[in-house]
Amino acid sequence: MLIIAYIILILSWSFIIFGMISIFRLKNLYMRILAAATIDSVASLLILIALIFANWHFEYGIRLALLIIFLLITNPIISHVNIRSAYLFGIPIDVKDGDIK
């Protein structure tokens, strides 16, 4: 079970690394927020699943499962609120090189 946890942790770190690279490579703020939300959702989900495999006790697993459900509900709402506030603040959707003020 511990080897499965290590494999899932390595997978989550690869999502984090590729997501960080995509945050720095993307030019649009909205795409950056979307990439950050994807990193947050997928990597945190995989880390919690790895924790379940690493040390399984019934109460511990139930708490982590409830935390996974909470994260799956709140992460899309948080990213939506961030993108909506950027849109309402007036940040343009199409940003060309050198247009950021």
Is the model's pTM score more than 0.95? Answer: no
Q: What's the mean per-residue pLDDT of the chain?
A: 87
Q: How many domains in the chain? A: 1
- Model confidence band, residue 7 (pLDDT cutoffs 50, 70, 90): very high
Per-residue pLDDT at 48: 92
- The single-letter DSSP state of residue 96 is -
Domain holding 20, by residue range, is: 2-89
Token pair belonging to 66: 């409830």
The dihedrals phi and psi of 60, each to the nearest 5 degrees, come to -65, -45
Beta carbons of 46 and 11 less than 8 angstroms apart: yes
**Residue 55 falls within a domain, yes or no?**
yes
C-alpha dihedral, 41 to 43 to 49 to 52, nearest 10°: -110
pLDDT for res 30: 87
Is there a domain that residue 28 lies in?
A: yes
What's the confidence (pLDDT) of residue 96?
63
Give the mean model confidence (pLDDT) for residues 13-21. 91
Q: At residue 100, does pLDDT exceed 80?
A: no
